[in-house]
């Protein structure tokens, strides 16, 4: 179990951007943030905001047992920093009723949600 000392205090989201860390030694981005880099174990880190824009990397849908069940679409997206130099992979749920709206490479936006990672499909 990880110590609470390694978890820095701070909000999960700042607006609709993820509050993450970037290692100044190896450049690895980590979310949720910790006080060390899990790639090189370095402690020279800085805070970075990721998102809200990104693209769909992959997705899947749930199986409906009954016609009344709501079908959900889960997936993995690549979120970018505002300057576009850094990116981060994140999983979550797509906020759409239509399965045909979600395509690999389609542009998305991270929605502000305190509990879940939710993505909105953007129009081209």
Are 106 and 88 part of one and the same domain? yes
Are 43 and 73 part of one and the same domain? no
Percent of the chain with pLDDT over 70: 90
Are 74 and 25 part of one and the same domain? no
What is the pTM (predicted TM-score) of this model?
A: 0.77
Q: How far apart are CA 106 and CA 104, in angstroms?
A: 6
Beta strand 17-23 with 13-14 is antiparallel
Cβ(46)–Cβ(24) under 8 Å? yes
Are 35 and 74 part of one and the same domain? no
Output the six-digit token pair for 8.
């820095």
Q: Which domain holds residue 18?
A: 4-49
> What would the pLDDT profile of 33-92 be if each residue is shown by its tens digit?
888 888 898 889 998 888 889 999 999 988 777 777 777 899 999 999 888 888 889 999
Question: Residue 32: which pLDDT band, with cuts at 50, 70 and 90?
Answer: confident
Cβ(54)–Cβ(82) under 8 Å? no
Number of domains in the chain: 2
Are 61 and 111 part of one and the same domain? yes
29 closest CA partner among 79, 75, 82, 87: 87
76 closest CA partner among 30, 119, 124, 112: 119
Are 67 and 102 part of one and the same domain? yes
pLDDT of residue 75: 93
């Amino acid at each position: 179990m990880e110590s609470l000392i390694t978890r820095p205090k701070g909000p999960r989201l700042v607006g609709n951007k993820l509050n993450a860390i970037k290692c100044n030694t190896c450049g690895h981005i980590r979310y949720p943030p910790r006080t060390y880099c899990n790639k090189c174990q370095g402690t020279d880190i800085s805070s970075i905001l990721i998102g809200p824009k990104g693209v769909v990397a992959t997705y899947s849908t749930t199986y409906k047992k009954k016609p009344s069940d709501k079908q959900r679409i889960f997936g993995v997206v690549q979120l970018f920093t505002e300057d576009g130099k850094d990116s981060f992979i994140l999983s979550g749920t797509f906020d759409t009723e239509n399965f045909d709206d979600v395509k690999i490479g389609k542009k998305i936006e991270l929605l502000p949600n305190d509990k879940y990672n939710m993505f909105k499909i953007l129009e081209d």
